[in-house]
Structure 1
Amino acid sequence: MNSLAILWRGSLLPLGREADPKKSTSAAHSSGSKLPRHKSCMLSAAIVLSLLSLSACTVGPDFLKPEPQQVAEWSKPANAAESQATTQTMDERWWEVFHDPKLSALSQRALTDNLDLKLASSRLQQSRAARQVITADRYPMTAATGSYGRERNSGEGLSDPSGKNGHSAFNLWDAGFSASWELDFWGRVRRETEAADATLEVAENDRRGVLLSVLAETAQDYIQLRGVQNTRAVTEQNLDVARHSLKLSQLRLADGVATDLDVAEAAAQVAAIESRLPALEQRQSQLINALSLLMGEPPQALHAELSTDAPVPQTPRQVAIGLPSQLAERRPDIRQAEARLHAATASIGVAKGDFYPRITLSGNIGSQAMQLSDFGSWSSRSFGIGPQFSLPLFDGGRLRGMLNLREAQQQEAAIAYQQTVLRAWHEIDDQLTAYNASQLRRDSLAEAVRQNQIALRTAQQQYVEGVVDFVNVLTVQGELLATQQQWVESSTGVSLAMVGLYKALGGGWESVYPVAKVATNNPV
């Protein structure tokens, strides 16, 4: 900076005042006598080196990648379930660990056809275009110019270039090329480019976040759909049992060993179970529509494809979730927050660069003539070249206010980064707990279903033998239906919890690892 200040002080006076030729000549002879040719060359080289060193100067703070808050290891539940999370490298295509071909196919279609992903891709293209606009300032700008005019100047005004003193009109032909280049001595343009690169990274991680959300939502809707279908199947099974009980009570009424109350209670049980089916059909239709929307399809476009019942996708015995230290590189929101902090840091350099002079080299070359026949001749040539600079002196505090704004925005971005990392740890811990708890609940309900099935068979046999009333059969039958539906919901919840865990972990970007055999544990 000091070298260029010396150059400015040495050049400001000649620009503002015409030099005395005699003094200039004597000064030249004097300098020539004092500075031999080799010293003059050394001085020129020093000036060039000073300019080159200034061109490497970059104002503003350099971005230092933050060290995110780390935890030593994932939390472990006191009462561990059968399927456990391991520190093996995560599967890049985590939805395939369910071993459900339909889910894998839908996920692949979502990657291609989802409209939210296309919107995110469009925003990414906009960021790339914006970066291209900003980085163009690093290079010289050239343009071709040309004009023609029929003119007449005032005879009483400034000098008439036509020499006719305003007595008649004349033609003026003009064409040429112009160029300008801002010398980025202070690194302001480089900081703008750095901020644009970071903003582009924000858009890239935004698309990754949308991609992760779309894949997770596809898996969640599909798992819920299969859960609803399994609940409907359980309801229909219980409806068959209730109808069998109704028929049994009617036969016993005909034999005189049952009452009208038994028949009425059995018929009411059948009607109550039947009333559950329309709501399940409605929920199935809603979930199919949700999947159709994720695929970019109209309503019910996937009805024929997904209306057939299928089991709920089951989780593997081991779920690879990677190491805690890999979290910051995997979660798109953490990467996005880091990129925002980088952009905010670079913007401080841009704001500081506005305090320094802007130096621009400009030049033009062309031809100008009043007769078309003279246009392009050697005597019609024109050119101009030279530097320009602009130094802000007074702006009412605008530049200082902008710098304060950028520094405050960087502080906000730094706090947002810390908050994003902390929120990520909380989400993962919550999802690990939910995954373990949902498995324990499912296993307990599976045992409850088995015991209720035994109880129903016993109650039916005792009713036939006349040992118990029909109300006992209805009570056990209702308990069985409730526990079976709860088991299906809990089994669905286990798979949903695993999807939530993978989403909280960032989805996984590593290579594929083999998946352990799936445990069925199906009591229905």
Structure 2
Amino acid sequence: MLIALGLFPLTACTVGPDFVRPHAPQVSQWSKPEKVAASQAVTAEIDERWWDVFNDRQLSALSRRALTDNLDLQLASSRLQQSRAARQVITASQYPTTAATGGYGRKRNSAEGLSDPSGHNGHSAFNLWEAGFSAAWELDLWGRVRRETEAADATLEVAENDRRGVLLSVLAETAQDYIQLRGVQSTRGVTEQNLEVARHSLKLSQLRLADGVATDLDVAEAAAQVAAIEARLPALQQRQAQLINALSLLMGERPQALQAELSKDVPVPQTPRQVAIGLPSQLAERRPDIRQAEARLHTATASIGVAKGDFYPRITLSGNFGSQAMQLSDLGSWGSRQFGIGPQLSLPLFDGGRLRGVLQLREAQQLEAALGYQQTVLRAWHEIDDQLTSYNTSQLRRDSLAEAVRQNQIALRTAQRQYVEGVVDFVNVLTVQGELLATQEQWVQSATDVSLAMVGLYKALGGGWESVYPLAGDLALR
């Protein structure tokens, strides 16, 4: 114990480099588009529950459900639990280990051996009773154990941010599948409306044929138009079923489990007039992949200290106290006592370069982690810039297509009227109707793309896990 007290001041020494939080590449402000769309990204406090800004109750309900039922999230929670348990195993090395022992044996020693504690020279068996207490503690003179603990803490942070990343991906995928589903349903609605128009045109051409005004060619072309539009519906129905299945899987449900609640047509969720995206300086705190890359760099840095600590002597203080007797009645008496105490020293002398190789490996891993951190941050800025551009341009395209739809609707009504008046051929009606259907489908897809771009923007910003992570963590880890 006196030795431990004398060496205690030395435990402040810690070999290896100290971790310094890296300075992430920063941009002063978000990029600004040349032509601003109706809904703008503004520098304001980010909406953590961004899925609620769509004002779609079903989307919000599915998002909350995914937080508790998604299997990927539960797997990430299980990995987090494993990391916590592994950290507990590693950090236990900081503390002394103690153990109580006890035993009984019926023995007989050799008559030709060196000794027989029974005093009968191996001619008879004897009882041996033992009980004791032992303790051991490695003096962490060079900080190797502390570096191991530091690396374990950083590894746990990696697992925590891995779970946050899964959480963010699940929320984004839920919103994306839901928005695409509503887009498919809207496209099907447009197709069915155009089908009714095409059927009306077919009846009109049949009536005009009966009156001797139209030709068989007009009727055939009208019937072909009806069949062509009808042919679009099965593919849309298939796509709807696939998206409902995707959402069912995200909720941890069987195929088509959500068919009843999602098959009813609902408009595509619309984006708000302003989208709050926070400050550029907050990015490193929000994106789980950046936090994870930083934690990996921390782990790699601490591991260098562990590798360097292996070059130094290991001193372990150990001791034991107990009692040994041949008769149970004598166990615990003063004469049966035994004890041992003293330090143990272990110093590596020759290992063929293994320790040097481990150190070089850890230093190379730290360099890789540092480069990985820089790459992760740079990729994040690119993703955000791309998503900001996508969000703005998709709105501009949607607005232009809305005007194209309006003009095509006017053109179709004009063509139908002129056909009835005999001014144009029926092929003009079919052409205009085909253009209207195409632009309507493009408009629906562009409106869907706007909402998808907003989801992609919030995912790139790393928003969403902050407010739900503690609750989801408690539910998943209880």
Q: Same fold (TM over 0.5)?
A: yes
* Range with bigger deviation, 388-397 or 206-215: 388-397
Is the partner of 2:330 in helix, strand or coil? coil
- What is the deviation of 1:400? 0.9
Q: Distance in 2 between matches of 1:202 and 1:511?
A: 19
- What is the deviation of 1:49? 7.6
Structure 1, residues 361-415: CA drift from partner, whole Å, max 9, x if none?
Answer: 1111111011222122221111111111111111111111111111111111011
Q: Distance in 2 between matches of 1:65 and 1:120?
A: 26
The structure 1 residue matched to 2:123, chosen from 167, 170, 175, is 167
Q: Does 1:474 align with 2:439?
A: no
Q: Distance in 2 between matches of 1:510 and 1:138?
A: 33
What is aligned with 1:426? 382
* Range with bigger deviation, 501-510 or 457-466: 501-510
Q: Does 1:184 align with 2:140?
A: yes
What is aligned with 1:119? 75
Any residues of structure 2 matched to 1:444-463 within 5 Å, and which? 444-463=400-419
The structure 1 residue matched to 2:172, chosen from 188, 192, 216, is 216
The answer (yes or no) to whether the contact 2:48–2:463 under 8 Å persists in 1 is yes
Identity of aligned residues (%): 86
What is aligned with 2:267? 311
Pair member with larger Rg: 1
Q: Does 1:156 align with 2:124?
A: no
- Cα distance change of structure 1 residues 508 and 112 upon mapping to structure 2, 3 Å threshold: closer
Q: Distance in 2 between matches of 1:52 and 1:407?
A: 29
Any residues of structure 2 matched to 1:348-497 within 5 Å, and which? 348-497=304-453
- What is the deviation of 1:87? 0.8
- What is the deviation of 1:341? 0.3
Q: Distance in 2 between matches of 1:505 and 1:409?
A: 28
- 1:364 partner amino acid: N
Structure 1, residues 1-57: CA drift from partner, whole Å, max 9, x if none?
Answer: xxxxxxxxxxxxxxxxxxxxxxxxxxxxxxxxxxxxxxxxxxx9xx88862321111
The answer (yes or no) to whether the contact 2:165–2:288 under 8 Å persists in 1 is yes
The structure 1 residue matched to 2:241, chosen from 285, 289, 297, is 285
What is aligned with 1:260? 216
Q: Distance in 1 between matches of 2:264 and 2:51?
A: 21
The structure 1 residue matched to 2:226, chosen from 256, 264, 270, is 270
Any residues of structure 2 matched to 1:189-208 within 5 Å, and which? 189-208=145-164
- 2:23 partner amino acid: E
Structure 1, residues 219-240: CA drift from partner, whole Å, max 9, x if none?
Answer: 0000000000000000000000
The structure 2 residue matched to 1:137, chosen from 93, 97, 105, is 93
* Range with bigger deviation, 51-60 or 239-248: 51-60
Unaligned runs of 5+ in 1: 1-43, 513-524
What is aligned with 2:194? 238
Q: Distance in 2 between matches of 1:372 and 1:133?
A: 38
Q: Distance in 1 between matches of 2:103 and 2:359?
A: 43
- What is the deviation of 1:86? 0.7
- What is the deviation of 1:286? 0.3
Is the partner of 2:47 in helix, strand or coil? coil
What is aligned with 1:505? 461
- 1:251 partner amino acid: L
Is the partner of 1:373 in helix, strand or coil? helix
What is aligned with 1:346? 302
Is the partner of 2:319 in helix, strand or coil? strand
What is aligned with 1:59? 15
- 1:132 partner amino acid: Q
- Cα distance change of structure 1 residues 341 and 102 upon mapping to structure 2, 3 Å threshold: same
- 2:251 partner amino acid: M
Q: Distance in 1 between matches of 2:244 and 2:384?
A: 29
- 2:155 partner amino acid: T
The answer (yes or no) to whether the contact 1:288–1:302 under 8 Å persists in 2 is yes
- 2:330 partner amino acid: D
Q: Distance in 2 between matches of 1:398 and 1:511?
A: 47
Q: Distance in 2 between matches of 1:279 and 1:509?
A: 36
Q: Distance in 2 between matches of 1:395 and 1:155?
A: 44
Q: Distance in 2 between matches of 1:48 and 1:486?
A: 78
Any residues of structure 2 matched to 1:2-41 within 5 Å, and which? none
TM-score, scaled to structure 2: 0.95
TM-score, scaled to structure 1: 0.87
The answer (yes or no) to whether the contact 2:164–2:465 under 8 Å persists in 1 is no
Q: Distance in 2 between matches of 1:355 and 1:291?
A: 55
What is aligned with 2:37? 81
- What is the deviation of 1:174? 1.0
- 1:337 partner amino acid: A
Q: Distance in 2 between matches of 1:94 and 1:264?
A: 51
The structure 1 residue matched to 2:182, chosen from 202, 226, 248, is 226
- What is the deviation of 1:325? 0.7
Q: Distance in 2 between matches of 1:81 and 1:49?
A: 71
What is aligned with 1:33? none
- What is the deviation of 1:166? 2.5
**Ranges of 4+ aligned residues in structure 1 off by more than 3 Å:** 47-50, 508-512
Over aligned residue pairs, what C-alpha RMSD do you find? 1.5
Is the partner of 2:328 in helix, strand or coil? coil
Q: Distance in 1 between matches of 2:232 and 2:453?
A: 26
Q: Distance in 2 between matches of 1:393 and 1:158?
A: 35
- What is the deviation of 1:161? 2.5
What is aligned with 2:279? 323
Q: Distance in 1 between matches of 2:118 and 2:5?
A: 47
Q: Does 1:298 align with 2:235?
A: no
The answer (yes or no) to whether the contact 1:91–1:509 under 8 Å persists in 2 is no
- What is the deviation of 1:195? 0.4
Is the partner of 1:186 in helix, strand or coil? coil
Q: Distance in 2 between matches of 1:363 and 1:162?
A: 27
Q: Distance in 2 between matches of 1:217 and 1:432?
A: 19
The answer (yes or no) to whether the contact 1:91–1:510 under 8 Å persists in 2 is no
Q: Distance in 2 between matches of 1:159 and 1:245?
A: 115
- 1:214 partner amino acid: V
Structure 1, residues 298-349: CA drift from partner, whole Å, max 9, x if none?
Answer: 0010000000000000111111111111100000000000000001100111
- What is the deviation of 1:508? 4.5
Q: Distance in 1 between matches of 2:433 and 2:14?
A: 78
Q: Distance in 1 between matches of 2:301 and 2:226?
A: 69
- What is the deviation of 1:77? 1.4
Q: Distance in 1 between matches of 2:34 and 2:122?
A: 101
Is the partner of 2:329 in helix, strand or coil? coil
- 2:237 partner amino acid: E
Unaligned runs of 5+ in 2: 469-478
Q: Distance in 1 between matches of 2:183 and 2:302?
A: 50
- 2:336 partner amino acid: S
The answer (yes or no) to whether the contact 1:90–1:509 under 8 Å persists in 2 is no
Q: Distance in 1 between matches of 2:8 and 2:128?
A: 42
